[in-house]
Structure 1
Amino acid sequence: MDKVILKNMRFDFPIGLDAWRRFRKPQPVQITIEAQPTSTLEPAAAKDDVNLSMDYGSLYKNMSAALKEPHPDAFPTIRSLIALLVGLVPDCGLLNIEILLPKALPHSTGGVLYRFQIDKSELEIDTSSLTVTVRQIACTCIVGVNPHERIYKQTVFIDISVPMVDPAVGVGALEEHYTAALHDMVQTIRERVEGSSYHTIEALATAVAQIVTLGYGHTVAKVRIDKPSAIATIEAAAVEITRSKTFFENKDFWKVKLP
């Protein structure tokens, strides 16, 4: 399980849509690489020789050079960036890539995080997965059982994680429409949540999962809701649920209760 890690490399270049749904506009990009070499790092440790390891200095230089001033059309999709990064990492058994676009959505204070993993540990078999998480969608709504919570709105923060259903990597697997749908989904969730009134964040999280799956076609959604005002002496109380599209086929959890 030895790993070489490059954490939070910061760049600024155009990728997909920006927060205002514009193409070819630069935006901040943070990249983390975790590479598990095909052999352990013990030889490098035993002889204290970087040539026997995966040289993270050279890896960073190669990535920095490739991403310093890319062409405005170089990364129309997140997958096109992933394809470049995978090609720059030397042979490894397991590769994890995290790409954070911290300002990709106007109402997401935590940004949009893409997590890609490719496993080459099995001979002639490469398996990969890609998920996207919209972090900390800020909403104000009526939620809670206490009398004052039924009068005043409070802020909650919503995280939504869904799989990118096509695991193919490359510019041929375009997701412009997918990215635009992500903007639409967040806007819909904010409008529905801010018009709602629930006693529990469990019910609110379930309603959000229903929008994500039935409204936007995702097979499964993980929804986390943080309620910072719930208890004064802690940072937040939170609930996290995972629900599939089939779970909602014969159910209707969305309900707007008036206070």
Structure 2
Amino acid sequence: MAQEFNVRIPTVPAVIDHIQLRDIQLPLPMGPDPWHRPRKPQPCTASIKLSYSSAIAAAAADDVALSLDYGKLYRRVEAEIREAGHRSVHGEALNVGSIKGGETKLEDFLGEDVRRIAGLIADCGFGLLDETVAGVRRMSHSHQSLPVASTQTTSSGTAGAEAQAQTAIAANAPRPDPIDSEYAQCEVWLHLPKALLRAEGGLKYRSVTVWGYKEPSGEGAEAGRQPMVLEQEFRIEGIRSYCILGVNSHERLEKQAVIISLEFKGPGQLSWGSTVVKTYQEMARVVAERVEETSYQTVEALATFIARIVTVEFGNERVTVTVEKPSALAFVERAGVEITRSQAFFAQQDYLRMKEGIEPSSR
């Protein structure tokens, strides 16, 4: 009988604290290669924001032992990525839903999918949090087991007795709760500047991962904890093309540069992200080449043309397209338009055109 689960995401605590690592230089042993060569090292910049509840106790006691060590987080992430090809792991142990268990080289596991890299980094953050919580609990238990000094004294030892009494009161006073591992959120940003030949800004990816708690609803199912990707975002930045664009007479004479960016954003547990991963390299090339064949008067028309290619031809559900003209205004670096379109939008447009006896638009 198939196991069935409901997954509970913990309520966000009243007090949340964060540790951050920004712009880590993180060379990948292999990653998305613009020439489609397998097992090629790639440059990558990563940032991490690990959120948890909470650092109140560390601040109150001014004790580093009650805090998360961001130096340790960096070393853990760097070591995990650097040693990626040196061991085998079970895919199901990592924070990527597309791998269904089985023994695989982690080097192969990283592959072309930036989600896997982000998932590995998020796992490092969650592992550090669990390790820190366990250490704090051991330290707390050790302190509680220490004998409390007697406060009985003679009249000649009044000052010492008062000091001991104050110490005992402080020891028994309510203390701020130490960090807790039930709630954890890890936000990861990745930038692969050389993942695409036709995109000067490369590929950017962002994910937000939390702990999810499996609550069994079927026979034989067991409760447990697993990372859940709540949201994710892909950005392809700086696709440069040259085309005729504009209404002014001088703009109709010669092609000008246009800078195109594509953004894909949505929930983390749906299949739309896999479509982006499978298509983004070819999609960037096709967009760049097709734009150079166009001759629109408005930036809006060009942006809509690009959105149709990305959604209808490459099967992506939704895209935000930004088109900018560096040469439009003398004292403005770039001027442009941003639109968001979906497959459903173009399907509706084509349906209405067919009802009117007009061929579906290719624009």
TM more than 0.5 = yes
Q: Does 1:75 align with 2:75?
A: no
* Pairwise CA RMSD: 2.7
Distance change (3 Å), C-alpha of 1:203 and 1:160: same
Q: 1:107 aligns with which of 198, 218, 239?
A: 198
Distance change (3 Å), C-alpha of 1:123 and 1:194: same
How big is the shift at 1:225? 1.2
Distance change (3 Å), C-alpha of 1:150 and 1:58: same
Within 1, Cα distance between the matches of 2:212 and 2:278? 35
Stretch deviating more after TM superposition (159-168 or 87-96)? 159-168
Code of the aligned partner of 2:240: A
Within 2, Cα distance between the matches of 1:68 and 1:162? 29
Say whether the 8 Å CA contact 1:212–1:221 is kept in structure 2.
Answer: yes
* Aligned twin of 1:3: 18
Which aligned pairs between 1:90-239 and structure 2 lie closer than 5 A?
Answer: 90=129, 91=181, 93-120=184-211, 126-163=228-265, 167=269, 179=277, 181-239=279-337
How many residues align? The count is: 249
Say whether the 8 Å CA contact 1:4–1:56 is kept in structure 2.
Answer: yes
Code of the aligned partner of 2:53: T
Which aligned pairs between 1:48-67 and structure 2 lie closer than 5 A?
Answer: 48-67=62-81
Say whether the 8 Å CA contact 1:93–1:121 is kept in structure 2.
Answer: no
What per-residue deviation string (whole Å, max 9, x for no partner) do you get for residues 36-64 of structure 1? 1122x344344433333322111011111
Higher radius of gyration, 1 or 2: 2
Say whether the 8 Å CA contact 1:3–1:37 is kept in structure 2.
Answer: yes
Runs of 4+ in 1 over 6 A off after TM superposition: 121-125
Say whether the 8 Å CA contact 1:37–1:93 is kept in structure 2.
Answer: yes
Within 2, Cα distance between the matches of 1:17 and 1:35? 26
Over the matched positions of the two proteins, sequence identity in percent amounts to 36
How big is the shift at 1:15? 3.5
Stretch deviating more after TM superposition (90-99 or 196-205)? 90-99
* Aligned twin of 2:34: 19
**Unaligned stretches of 5+ residues in structure 1:** none
Higher strand share: 1
Code of the aligned partner of 1:26: P
Stretch deviating more after TM superposition (113-122 or 188-197)? 113-122
Name the TM-score, length of structure 2 as normaliser: 0.62
